[in-house]
Structure 1
């Protein structure tokens, strides 16, 4: 241990915001929130995207290590070893259990005899032989070592429990602490009127998709549904925020469906920037028809902005429809008519839209904002620190 008061935490992640991704934004926002309530916080990550080797941002010390190679988005950074050996930390908190950085953090935590926690940012099954083989090999070697030596595994919601338990993580080591956003940054009073004028959207119903343009995000399903939506709302516009390998294919799809004038591809927009907040502000409904998801930051942001949500009826969406807390419409996005009808219903029924938006905002205020989650994590960190000290008779 290096901090006498037990208030020093090191977050470890392969990439960090502004690298695009939910895990990267989560780690940055969590660290900032912990610093605000008195923790000394450091982040050890890689130099991708290129950044300063060391800087202090929002009260958080950031160390970037040189990436040697990056196989399957898993950067190998040998210099991370030396930084983690000497960095001021009472707890190591790594993000995702598949990464080299997590394995290194686990190894050093054992040498330093400090608690080691992991947040799982979702489990995406491998569907091909090579992926399945690599997963099995990893879990029988260094991945198995990492999972067997952690103190706590943090999950966003209980639905992931059975997956981690099947990988050998005892139920007693699993904690449920959800994702979160910052209320004041995503508030319903943000003005996006200049965006409406810029894109001539005054007369339009505005449907929003935000996400990477990859297969599992399901953007093609809302594009297909637009054909039916436009029959009821001829001036409707689908705003697509994000880029990715399917961008050309999705643009071709909208062209082939003869709806390209009704689909606006915005490209990549930084997730914490003012432009994205303005786009949320002017949208009438957010549609996220993902095939696979964890606990979407995009949904949290839109809910905080009091926007009605339509998303996939799958195990990972159950947190949105708890008894008395129905904060979204859940559909099977592969059934085009079902998705289109859900969007049409929300656009036609202002009472339904308002009810969803109000319940969504309340859910964020009550459960999913960083002020609450940082305090929840603080209790867990302190518990782990005290437990480790008792174990070592310190």
Structure 2
């Protein structure tokens, strides 16, 4: 089976990491994937680095820098590539890629088979509806999404939470199948790098884009109470985004600037996570949340809000601690309790690590994906 994976991207995030881990392993099942990356011209160099990483893993990759408004022209190029390389299946990832794939089928190649992985939904929807996820908002994005889904032959999601969301929004007549992410983390490589990533004691870390949906503000509000108990505590804020200035101002108002380190983007976040006492992830919603299972793999105890899909991955008081959403006091209490109890931290991390080894690994993800493809084999031959 030969498949072209189509992704409109600005750089490496969850969907891009997913392809890096997935495609090389699928070859063992006779499923050969190629990748076409479409990106805005301003991000060409960054995306080229991603393409290079795919090439290093033996995945043939094509890069098309173009505006996302140029859908028909891109669709024509995608179709030409499929014809030239005898590809009859396109597997798209993310909203813009789905739209391009559907344009290929409608305007250029009605026989092409379309598959799609749903990695999420419009982020502004989650920010606006954190207390009413599943509420339908009838807008242009909604209607385009519904039309595009109707033209795709087979859809799959990365979590039960996303499958439930699309069904509750009436975007699909029945719930889509879901395949959880899996990862591979070599802790030996991290430790052998010889770089000191333990900068403070105690050390808390939050990893993710600086956007409202990631809940940084609630963690900042929890910090004064944590600092009362641990004056030398330092929160490493890893990531970049539009909320950076607002969070800086919040830190100043709370008087916690000395206990906050804005780290920006880091090439090796795993090393910082592995060396931290706790990773706090107070997202208000996650389509999946790779960093949760990365924490399992790195044996760093995780404290998160009890929201979808966080509670799909973390079992409260077994593989992590879940706190009521938007509860900064509860967040502070849970973090303080874990900092005071290394035995409990160790129990949680050992349970999380066992879950990573037994389930949240790339081998399981690859097999589940191969099985899904093979269930569709009659339709896609």
**Which TM-score tier does this pair reach, normalised by the shorter chain?**
0.7 to 0.9
- Is residue 36–residue 61 contact of structure 2 (8 Å, CA) maintained in 1? yes
* 1:105 aligned residue: 101
* 1:134 aligned residue: 140
Within 2, Cα distance between the matches of 1:89 and 1:216?
38
* 2:232 aligned residue: 235
* 2:286 aligned residue: 293
The answer to which of 215-224 and 250-259 deviates more is 250-259
* 2:343 aligned residue: 351
The answer to which of 378-387 and 204-213 deviates more is 378-387
Report the alpha carbon displacement of residue 384 of structure 1 after superposing the two structures with TM.
1.4
- Is residue 306–residue 322 contact of structure 2 (8 Å, CA) maintained in 1? yes
- Is residue 72–residue 100 contact of structure 2 (8 Å, CA) maintained in 1? no
Report the alpha carbon displacement of residue 213 of structure 1 after superposing the two structures with TM.
0.6
* 1:50 aligned residue: 44
Within 2, Cα distance between the matches of 1:62 and 1:167?
35
Within 1, Cα distance between the matches of 2:288 and 2:17?
13
* 1:282 aligned residue: 275
Within 1, Cα distance between the matches of 2:105 and 2:179?
22
Q: Indicate whether 1:155 and 2:151 are aligned.
A: no
The answer to which of 353-362 and 248-257 deviates more is 248-257
* 1:22 aligned residue: 14
Report the alpha carbon displacement of residue 93 of structure 1 after superposing the two structures with TM.
1.5
3-state SS of paired residue (2:309): helix
* 1:222 aligned residue: 219
- Is residue 65–residue 80 contact of structure 1 (8 Å, CA) maintained in 2? no
- Is residue 282–residue 305 contact of structure 2 (8 Å, CA) maintained in 1? yes
* 1:195 aligned residue: 196
Within 2, Cα distance between the matches of 1:190 and 1:76?
47
1:64-75 correspondence runs (5 A): 64-69=63-68
Within 2, Cα distance between the matches of 1:28 and 1:15?
14
Within 1, Cα distance between the matches of 2:219 and 2:189?
25
Report the alpha carbon displacement of residue 14 of structure 1 after superposing the two structures with TM.
0.4
Report the alpha carbon displacement of residue 278 of structure 1 after superposing the two structures with TM.
1.4
- Is residue 82–residue 88 contact of structure 2 (8 Å, CA) maintained in 1? no
Within 1, Cα distance between the matches of 2:219 and 2:72?
34
Report the alpha carbon displacement of residue 37 of structure 1 after superposing the two structures with TM.
5.5
Report the alpha carbon displacement of residue 149 of structure 1 after superposing the two structures with TM.
3.0
Q: Indicate whether 1:258 and 2:216 are aligned.
A: no
Within 2, Cα distance between the matches of 1:385 and 1:94?
17
Report the alpha carbon displacement of residue 348 of structure 1 after superposing the two structures with TM.
1.1
Within 1, Cα distance between the matches of 2:180 and 2:345?
25
TM-score, normalization by structure 1: 0.82
**Deviation digits for residues 322-374 of structure 1, max 9, x if unmatched?**
59x83111113522211100101111112221111111111111111111111
3-state SS of paired residue (2:162): helix
Q: Which has the higher helix share?
A: 2
3-state SS of paired residue (2:35): strand
Q: Indicate whether 1:305 and 2:283 are aligned.
A: no
* 1:169 aligned residue: 172
Within 1, Cα distance between the matches of 2:188 and 2:355?
14
* 1:269 aligned residue: 266
Within 2, Cα distance between the matches of 1:269 and 1:10?
30
Report the alpha carbon displacement of residue 258 of structure 1 after superposing the two structures with TM.
1.8
**Deviation digits for residues 302-322 of structure 1, max 9, x if unmatched?**
111011111111132222345
- Is residue 303–residue 361 contact of structure 1 (8 Å, CA) maintained in 2? yes
- Is residue 211–residue 243 contact of structure 2 (8 Å, CA) maintained in 1? yes
**Deviation digits for residues 75-103 of structure 1, max 9, x if unmatched?**
9845334334434435322112x22x212
**Deviation digits for residues 93-126 of structure 1, max 9, x if unmatched?**
2112x22x21232343573635422111123463
The answer to which of 52-61 and 117-126 deviates more is 52-61
- Is residue 35–residue 62 contact of structure 2 (8 Å, CA) maintained in 1? yes
Within 1, Cα distance between the matches of 2:266 and 2:376?
38
What do you get for the CA RMSD once the two structures are aligned? 3.0
- Is residue 234–residue 259 contact of structure 2 (8 Å, CA) maintained in 1? yes
Q: 1:334 to 1:65 in 2, by over 3 A?
A: same
* 1:118 aligned residue: 116
**Deviation digits for residues 114-155 of structure 1, max 9, x if unmatched?**
542211112346349xx852224424xxx51x3123232212
Report the alpha carbon displacement of residue 262 of structure 1 after superposing the two structures with TM.
1.1
Report the alpha carbon displacement of residue 187 of structure 1 after superposing the two structures with TM.
6.2
- Is residue 117–residue 156 contact of structure 2 (8 Å, CA) maintained in 1? yes
